[in-house]
Amino acid sequence: MYRLPEALIDRYTEDNFYEIQRLNPLVSEYTLGMTGKALDLGAGKGTNGKYLTDNGFEVTAVDINPRAIEMMRRQGIDLQWQDIVELRWSREDYYDVIICLYVFQHLSDDDIAKVVRHMKYSLKKGGTMILGSFKTPNNDLSLESMAHLFCGADGFEMLVKDSWKRIDVSHGTPHYHEGFNLVVKKVGN
């Protein structure tokens, strides 16, 4: 089981929360007009899950951070306090939308492959998966390696595949963060 560093737990307060906890524009764009069941993995404060709930989705949120769990409960979001690698996954073709934003950088390559396998299994045909991650020395994660997990015979269509790089001046010496976003759709009805 992944052990969340105490420093990450300590960063979860009402006043000092990850910049990343604003609504991700890919979530609003690629779920517009949809409803159904959604799974938000590594939900953090619950911003994306709350948006989906407010727009007609039945949302299950998962996070490992106890402070994030407290914040989500106050928003009335259904959640599980669990490591996504050890998550008890729903049956095949269950979710209409699965979101996993800025979680994979904390996992090993083997754990990423395991989680993605479960995500692909649990997503309904015609469903949408929204993924994003930072590049990190923790694993060999890259836009190409992640896209490869969804190529060809797996029955997924790539809707968005982009990488990004931006400067962070919010703490310490200015430095760059790099990452990527993927939006994929499971082919079929």
Burial class of residue 170 in the structure, from the number of CB atoms within 10 Å of its CB (0-12 exposed, 13-18 middle, 19+ buried) = exposed
Residue 1 belongs to a domain: no
CA distances to 7, 68, 83, 103, 120 from 4, in Å? 8, 12, 9, 11, 25
Give first-to-last CA distance, the chain, whole Å: 35
Quote the DSSP letter at residue 143: H
Rounded CA separation 65/84 (Å)? 11
Domain that holds residue 172: 6-186
Q: Where does 27-94 show beta strands of DSSP type E?
A: 36-41, 57-63, 79-81
**Predicted confidence (pLDDT) per residue in 92-140, tens digit:** 889 999 999 988 888 888 888 889 989 999 999 999 999 998 877 666 7
Q: What is the CATH number of the domain that holds 44?
A: 3.40.50.150
In the 8-state DSSP scheme, what is residue 14? S
Share of residues in the chain with pLDDT > 70 (%):
83
Sequential pLDDT tens for the chain (189 residues): 555 555 554 555 554 444 445 788 999 999 999 999 999 998 887 889 889 999 999 998 888 887 777 777 777 776 767 777 877 777 888 999 999 998 888 888 888 888 998 999 999 999 999 999 887 766 677 888 888 887 655 688 989 998 888 887 877 788 887 888 999 999 886
Full-prediction pTM beyond 0.85? no
Phi, psi at residue 171, to the nearest 5°? -155, 140
Number of domains in the chain: 1
Kindly state whether residue 117 falls inside one of the protein's structural domains.
yes
- How many residues are given for the chain? 189
In a domain, 157, yes or no: yes
In a domain, 34, yes or no: yes
